[in-house]
Amino acid sequence: VDRSASYAARYVAKNIVKAGLAKKCEVQIAYAIGIAKPVSVMIDTFGTATVSEEKISEAVNALVDLRPAAIIKKFELRKPIYKQLAAYGHMGREELGVKWEECDIAESLKAYCTK
């Protein structure tokens, strides 16, 4: 779960910033053995949020499936690209077209938080 949850946290944070809900964002996801859903999803915007962090967290929990199987499916992790990711890191690699760099839920997050 470690690497896949890192991808999910990156994805959520990028979408929060893209949605204009914060200028900076850190997402912490905690799992427990034998429980598919995270036991905690913490959002820290370092004081840059335009809505409450609680509202952002509520939106993430409502709109993003953070169960390991859902993360594997969403980011196509059964189709690894080891060679491309072996150098220069896994994050910020938009040129590779990796799914965790997409900002496809930004509008949904924004709509949820501003309703």
Give me the number of domains the chain comprises.
1
- Which residues fall within 8 angstroms of residue 4, CB to CB, at 6 or more apart? 68, 71, 72, 75, 77
Question: Residue 63: which domain range?
Answer: 2-113
Q: How far apart are CA 98 and CA 55, in angstroms?
A: 28
**Residue 73 pLDDT > 80:** yes
Q: How far apart are CA 31 and CA 37, in angstroms?
A: 7
Position 53 scores a pLDDT of: 97
| 2-40 tens-digit pLDDT | 889 999 999 999 999 999 999 999 999 999 999 999 999
Q: Which residue has the tokens 């938009």?
A: 94
Position 2 scores a pLDDT of: 84
Q: pTM, whole model, 2 decimals?
A: 0.92
- Residue 114: count of CB within 10 angstroms of its CB: 13
Question: In this structure, what CATH number is given to the domain that contains residue 67?
Answer: 3.30.300.10
